[in-house]
Amino acid sequence: MDTLGYLGQGFGVALSPYNLVTALCGTLIGTVVGLLPGLGPINGVALLIPIAFALGLPPESALILLAAVYLGCEYGGRISSILLNIPGEASTVMTTLDGYPMARKGLAGVALSLSAWSSFIGAFIATCGMVLFAPLLAKWAIAFGPAEYFVLMVFAIVCLGGMAGDRPLKTFIAALIGLFLSTVGIDANSGVYRFTGDNIHLTDGIQFVVLVLGLFSISEILLLLEKTHRGQEAVKATGRMMFNFKEASSVFVVNIRCGLLGFIMGVLPGAGATLASAVAYMTEKRIAGANGTFGQGDMRGLAAPETAIGGAACGALVPMLTLGVPGSGTTAVMIGALSLYNITPGPLLFQQQPDIVWGLIASLFVANIMLVILNIPMIRIFTRILAVPNWALVPVIAIITGIGVYAVHATTFDLFLMIGIGIFGYILRKLDFPLSPVLLGFILGGLMEQNLRRALSISNGALEILWSSPITFGVWVLTAIMLLMPILRIWRKRSVARRVIADV
Amino acid sequence: MLLQRIFASVLLLACVGLALMAWPYQAAFSYEPVGPRAFPLLMLGLMGLGLLYMVFRPTPIVHSDDDPKLDRETLIKIGICVLLLLVFAGAFEPLGFIVASILIGIPMARLYGGRWLPSTVIISLMAIGLYLLFDKVMDVPLPLGVLDVLEN
C-alpha cells in the first residue's frame, strides 16, 4: 500500500495551485501545437524545454508542463483529423476514417467530445496500469547492471525496426545515424575529441534541442512548401457538443479493450501510438464484423483508435520512468529534458525523487480531466485556429524554432547546424526514412556506449558478461525474435504472392 | 530507386570517411578495456553494412496521394527557403532578432502564398510581439542588434 501513499503525495504536488496552472498552460499550448500543421508533439515538447529552463521552473513543474503538452498535442491532433480529414500526426490517421464521416453527418461536436472521452478512458486505464506496474518494474530494474542495460537498449533499437513493418532496414539505418551522432563531441571517459573537426562549438556534442528542431521543424517547413494550396474547408462544429449516455455506453466495452491494448503497446519500446491505434481499429473492425458501419462514421471506429492512442501515450512513459529507456520519439525528448535538469530517469528515480515521479503520474490524471473539460467551451476557438493560413503560420514557426535553438547556448552556430540537420532530415523523409528512430538512437547512444564500456570494465574486457546473466540472455532471445519478425513477414508475403500467381 | 542508390552511396562514403577519422582516436591514459574508438566504429560498421545492402537492393518508395512528385518549381522554392533560413541564422546576431525576423519572414510568407500587405503587417507585428514575449516576459535573451540604440 506504499503505492497509494506515494500517489497521494503525488496528487499533493500536482494539485498545488502553481502546478495546476502549469498543467493548464501546458494542455492549452499542447492543443494549439497539435492542431497546427507542421508541429507535432515532438517539436512541441522540444520547443518548450529551453523556455521552461529559462523560466526557471522547478524540475517537477517542468516535467508536468511537458507531459501536459504531450497529452495536449495528442488531443489537438484529433481536432484537425475530425474536422479537416487531415491527420495532425501519424497516430491520428485512423481517427480520420470514422471521425470525418461523423463530422459530415453533423455530429462533429459529438465526435470531438466522444474522442476526448475515449482518450481519457484510455489514458486513465494506462495511468492505473502505470501506478500498478511502474513501481514493480522499478524494483526489478534495480537488479539491472550495465550489461543488462546495454542489452536492453539493443532490444529497444531492434524493436523499433521489428515493429516498423515494411521498412525495417531504413529504420535500422536511421537509428544507427542517431547512435552515431550521439558520439560527436568530447568523450567523457578519455577526454578525446571525437568528430568535432576542431570546431569549438561541437566539443559539447550536438545539442539535442538543435537536433530535434532541425529534424522535425525545419524538415516539416520544407515539406509544407510542396503543399501550399489549402483546399479543404473545416466542417463547422455546430449542434450538440456533448455525447449522451447511450452513445458513451455503446462504446464502453471498446474503450476498455482498446485502452488495455494501447497501454501494452505503449509500454513496448518502438511500438507507440501509431501502431496501437492501427491495431485497435483493425481489431474492432473484425470484432464488429457485418453489423458495423466502419468507415462511414461508426462510433466504435472513432473510439477504438482514440482510446488506444490515449493508452499508448501514457504507457510510453512507463519504460521511460522505470528503465530510463524511451519508448517513443516524444518520451525520448522528455528524457533529454530531464537530463538538462541533471535528472537521470531510471529505477533510482522512484527512490530518490518520488515527488517528481508521482507528481508526474498524478498530473497525468489532472491533465486528462482538464482536456475533457476544455473541449466543450474551447472547441470554437480551436476551430478558428485551424483557419490560419500557412503563409502566416510557417514563418512564425520558423522564427520560434530559431528562438528555441538560440535559447540553449546563445550561439548562431547552433542555428546553422539546425538548418543543416533540417536539410538532411528533409532528404531522409523524401527517401521514406522514418525520423523518430534517429532521435531515439541519439538519446540512447550516449547511455548505450557508457553502459557497454562500464560492463566491459567490470569484466575486464571479457565479452561474456554481455550474455552470461539470465536477464541478458533472455533479452537477447527476445531481440533475436524481433530481428526475425520482419524477415518472417517478408517471407510470408512472398509465399502468399507466389500462391496467388500459382492460382492464376 | 536511383536517388536511393545515390543517397546510400554518398552516406556509405561518409561512413568510410568518418571511420578513417575515428581510427586514430586513442586515449592517452586508459583505465578501461574499451577506448573511445570502439563504439563509433561499431555503429559506422553496422550502418555501412545496411547501406551496402541498400545500394544493391533499394526498396521502392510508396508514394501516397497527397504527396506530389517533386518538380522544378518546388525545388527552386525549397532552395529559396533554405537560403532564407541561412540568412536568418547569419543575420540573427549582427542585425538583431526583430530585423532578421522581418527580413526573412516577409519573403517566406510570400513563398507560401501570402500577399505583400498582409504578410508585411502580420510578420512585423509577430516579430515585435515574439521579441517582447520571449525577451521581456519569458527571460530568453534575444539580440537587439541594430535596434540597440532604441534600448536607451
Residue ranges per structural domain of chain B: 2-56, 72-151
Show Cβ contacts of residue A180 under 8 Å, excluding neighbours closer than 6 positions: A441, A445, B18, B40, B43, B44, B47
Mean pLDDT along residues B83-90: 90
C-alpha to C-alpha distance for A415 and B92, rounded to whole angstroms: 9
More confident residue, A475 or B31: A475
Q: b/e map of A214-239 (b: 16 or more CB within 10 Å)?
A: bbbbbbbbbbbbbebeeeeebbebee
The least confident of A109-113, A496-500, B18-22, B126-130 is A496-500
Q: Quick: pLDDT tens for A347-361.
A: 777 777 878 888 888
pLDDT in tens, A3-24: 778 888 888 888 888 888 888 8
Chains A and B form CB pairs within 8 A to the count of: 192
Residue spans per domain, chain A:
2-221+248-503
Look at residue A228 in the predicted model and tell me its pLDDT: 56
> pLDDT value at position A238?
65
Identify the helix (H) or strand (E) that includes residue A167: none
Nearest CA in chain A to B114: A391
pLDDT of residue A161: 67
Q: pLDDT value at position A237?
A: 63
Q: What is the pLDDT of residue B97?
A: 86
Separation of alpha carbons A150 and A128, rounded Å:
29
Q: Which of B44, B126, B140, B144 to mutate to test the interface with A (most CBs of A within 10 A)?
A: B140
Alpha-carbon distance A449 to nearest alpha carbon in chain B (angstroms): 6
User: Rounded mean pLDDT of B108-126?
Assistant: 87
**CA A294/CA A296 separation, integer angstroms:** 5
Neighbours of A188 (CB within 10 A): 13
Contact B21 A55 (CB under 8 A): no
- Is 0.85 exceeded by the ipTM? yes
Closest Cα partner for A95 from A373, A374, A257, A304? A304
Note the pLDDT of residue A416: 92
The model's confidence at residue A220, banded by pLDDT at 50, 70 and 90, is: confident
Tell me the CA distances in angstroms from A209 to A61, A169, A435, one per residue in order: 19, 26, 15
Q: What residue of B is the nearest CA neighbor of A55?
A: B138
Q: What is the pLDDT of residues A283-300, one digit of tens each?
A: 888 887 777 777 777 888
Does residue A47 register a pLDDT over 70?
yes
A418 vs B contacts (CB less than 8 Å): 89
pLDDT tier for residue A388 given thresholds of 50, 70 and 90: confident
Cβ proximity of A197 and A215 under 8 Å? no
The predicted model scores a pTM of 0.83
Is the pLDDT at A311 greater than 60? The verdict is yes
CA nearest to B20 within chain A: A195
Which of A70, A45, A42 is CA-nearest to residue A313? A70
Query: Are the beta carbons of B62 and A190 separated by less than 8 Å?
Result: no
Contact with chain A for residue B82, Cβ under 8 A: yes
Mark yes or no for CB contact B34/A431 under 8 Å: no
Shortest Cα distance from B47 to chain A (angstroms)?
6
Look at the block and give the residue holding cell 500587405: B117
Which letter, b or e, does each residue of A131-147 get, where b requires 16 or more Cβ atoms within 10 Å of its Cβ? bebbbebbeebeebbbb
Secondary structure class of B104 (helix, strand, coil):
helix
Cβ burial, residue A290 (10 Å; 0-12/13-18/19+): exposed
Round to whole Å and give the CA distance between A191 and B28: 9
Neighbouring CB atoms inside 10 A of A289's CB total 8
pLDDT of res. A471? 83
Q: Give the three cell numbers for residue A199.
A: 570546431
For residue B145, the Cα-to-chain-centroid distance in whole angstroms is 23
Over the stretch A314-332, which tens digit does the pLDDT of each residue have? 888 888 888 888 777 778 8
Maximum mean pLDDT: which of A85-94, B59-68, B70-79: B70-79
Contact A457 B30 (CB under 8 A): no
DSSP class of residue A194?
A: E
Cα gap B39→B150, rounded to integer Å? 52
Q: Is B126 on the interface with A (CB under 8 A)?
A: yes
Strand partners, A185: A194
Q: Residue written as cell 458513451?
A: A248
Position A424 confidence tier, pLDDT thresholds 50, 70, 90: very high
Beta-carbon separation of A419 and B85 below 8 A: yes
Contacts of B101 in chain A (CB under 8 A): 395, 399, 402
Question: Which pLDDT does position A418 carry in this prediction?
Answer: 92
Rounded to the nearest 5°, which phi and psi values hold at A194?
A: -110, 130
Sequence letter at residue B66 = D
Any residues with CB less than 8 A from the CB of A63 and at least 6 apart, and which?
A334, A337, A338, A356, A359, A360
Is A247 or A183 the better-scoring residue by pLDDT? Answer: A183
pLDDT at A421: 92
Grid cell 507542421 is found at A38
A20, exposed or middle or buried, with CB in 10 Å at 0-12, 13-18, 19+? middle
pLDDT digit string (tens) for B1-57? 777 888 888 888 988 888 888 888 777 666 777 778 888 888 888 988 988 888 887
Interface mutation vs chain B, best among A85, A173, A405, most B CBs within 10 Å: A173
Cell of B44: 559506422
CB contact under 8 A, A419 and B89: yes
